Structure 1
Amino acid sequence: MTYSLLSYQSDRGPRAGMRVGDRVFDVEHVSGRAEWATVMGMLDDWQEASARCDTLARHLANDSGAGALDLSAMALLAPLLYPGTLYCAGANYRDHVEEMAKARGMPPPPTMKDLGEVAGHFIKTSRSAVVGPGAIVPIPNATQRLDWELELAAVIGKRATNVKAADALDYVAGYTIANDLSARDRSRRAKLEPGSLMYYDWIAHKSFDGSCPMGPWFVPSQFIADPNALDMKLWVNGELMQDSNTSNQIFDIGEQIEALSHRVTLQPGDVVLTGTPAGVGSGRGQFLKAGDVVKLWIAEIGEFEHGIG
């Protein structure tokens, strides 16, 4: 029986919930495990927690509904409220590389893979960047070019060091949806020469408050047949902007985890944002403004919305 895990706001604070069909159950209540009151607590013990949830899901699917919570009445939070490190793939869809080059009046460059390189990532903050469904993300200071980037996010479920791409998905607990919001006009320091070591400002560009909306829940990896073949779409105010498939990645998820795990040890609760396809605002000269509503959808996971304030 399939299930997903979510975080919701209760009168006792943030809680982990198990979504089975159209019903939600408090994980601590149905499992009897106080340490699983949050999704991060479950990831710290993912092998046991996932096995227990598999059993619970089969039981709860046939339950009369006693103890079930009303999903429609819930205030959903980001599935991982305070994740570990957020690793974000840069330029990982060929069509996105081409559209960004075109926006700068340049010819399409060779990709990292074309050059024989491995996947490249940057880091976002987590506690200040991650927000959940329905959040209103404030436009960061001095930004006129706030852009959207729909991404499949892989959640690490066990410690990973020097893993091979062929084995890498075994280290993924599951998947969720993220928006790698980007302040395009804050990415470079205008007073510095392009060759300067400090020319790029990744904090202002990528790590401002609310820069990583995430949701609506976290789907365990055993329920995603092929994470490298998922349809994905993003709308702004009902207008379709991005329409692609994760099969269009330059480096697939296994290759990304291999590259990362040879640089750092990945820990349970770390999240890998796997890149965005073409259709971002920079490619069309259109950017987010106060009052806009962004909707994100990925097949086999779900959809959620957030606003811009």
Structure 2
Amino acid sequence: MKLLRFTEGGRTRIGKLVGDNVIDLSGVAGVGTSMRQLLVDLPALRGALEAAVEPAYRAGEVKLEAPIDDPQKYLAIGLNYKAHAEEARAAGVPIPSSQLWFNKQVSCITGPYDPIEYPGVIEKLDYEIELGVIIGKRCRHVTAVDARSVIAGYFVTNDVSARDWQSRSPTFTLGKSFDTHGPIGPWIVTDDEIADPHALDMVLTVNGEERQRKSTGDMIYNIYAQIEYLTTVMTLEPGDILATGTPEGIGMAIGKLLKVGDVVRAEIGGLGHIENRVIAVD
């Protein structure tokens, strides 16, 4: 299934995408307004959700929202593609010897087609296409062999980064967490629909110019190794987001940082695309 959140008639609801139609799932018994709670209940509700065929809206007639707006954690791994790690090393950033994780504060999350804000306090704004993974089960001490069993699904994310703020402190959090700097979506593709999450093509363009293109198979630490590593430390909860790394071609490395008015499109095969315009704010 392709699970989503949408607004129509001034009301935001949970739905699913079938072809070009958004099916409203709010009438299914047990479905509320929280995608996080739906992921908890998904095993019990799956049959009813799959059977729902109405009410239906044309996708172009509704506003797609971030597919989840209430995760408890948004964790992202840095320097997880070989060529990107090398371009970072060329810029003076050492390649870590283990997985490098940081937080994006959940308040940065925004919709798949909503604007990216460029406040005046930022000097260097950048893009990073990434495969987003959403956790479906409360879990701790998960082995890589079992890791796929705790994944609810996948979506496209752009780890928008304020590079100047990122470099101001030992942790990346501030430079990764400005409001609207976490566009995600356009929906959650459930794990059963993806044969191999490590065989998906990623493409990011700015104003139609290709900047990044890579397969998710080029990760240094694959998704299952990431989950094993994280759950050694902490409990992951349903709805938690993992951003699994970006390939080479970031703006900082190629001398093409984002500007006001730029349109950033990030697409992953089988998952759809998100597209966001950069706007100026005070």
TM-score bracket, shorter-length normalisation: over 0.9
Question: Quick check: which one's strand share is greater?
Answer: 2
**2:136 is equivalent to residue 157 of structure 1:** yes
Aligned equivalents of 1:34 and 1:229: distance in 2? 32
1:122 aligns with one of 90, 95, 102: 102
- Name the residue aligned to 2:277: 307
Contact 1:7 1:38 in 2 (8 A): no
TM-score (norm 2): 0.94
CA–CA distance in 1 between the matches of 2:218 and 2:31?
41
Partner of 1:33: 30
1:220 to partner: Cα distance: 0.3
Whichever of the two has the greater Rg, that structure is 1
Q: Alignment identity in percent?
A: 38
Q: Corresponding residue for 1:193? A: none
- Deviation, 1:12, is 5.1
Query: Residues 234 and 156 from structure 1, CA distance in 2 versus in 1: closer, same or farther, beyond 3 angstroms?
Result: same
Q: Name the structure 2 match of 1:14.
A: 12
Structure 1 length-normalised TM: 0.86
Offset of 1:16 from its aligned partner?
0.6
Q: Which structure 2 segments of 5+ residues have no match? A: none
1:56-205 alignment to 2 at 5 Å? 56=51, 60=53, 67-104=55-92, 111-112=96-97, 117=98, 119-126=99-106, 128-189=107-168, 199-200=169-170, 202-205=172-175
Name the structure 2 match of 1:288: 258
- Which whole-Å CA distance do the structure 1 matches of 2:70 and 2:95 have between them? 36
- Any unmatched runs of 5+ in structure 1? 61-65, 190-198
Moved over 6 A (4+): none
Contact 1:14 1:38 in 2 (8 A): no
- Summarize deviations over 1:163-197 as a string: whole Å, max 9, x none: 000110110000011000111111233xxxxxxxx
Aligned to 1:206: 176
Aligned to 1:53: 49
Q: How many residues align?
A: 279
C-alpha distance in structure 2 between counterparts of 1:308 and 1:216, whole Å? 18
The one-character-per-residue Cα deviations of 1:98-155 (angstroms, maximum 9, x if unpaired) are 1112233x7xx5553xxxx3x23111111x2000122111113422210100000110
Matches within 5 A, 1:251-290: 251-290=221-260
Measured on the aligned residues, the alpha-carbon RMSD in Å equals 1.7
Q: Secondary structure at the match of 2:83?
A: helix
1:239 aligns to 2:209 (yes or no): yes
CA distance in 2, matches of 1:226, 1:133: 23
* Offset from partner CA, 1:22-48 (integer Å, 9 cap, x none): 21111122x23343x342231121221
SS state of the match for residue 282, structure 1? helix
Return the letter of the residue paired with 2:65: L
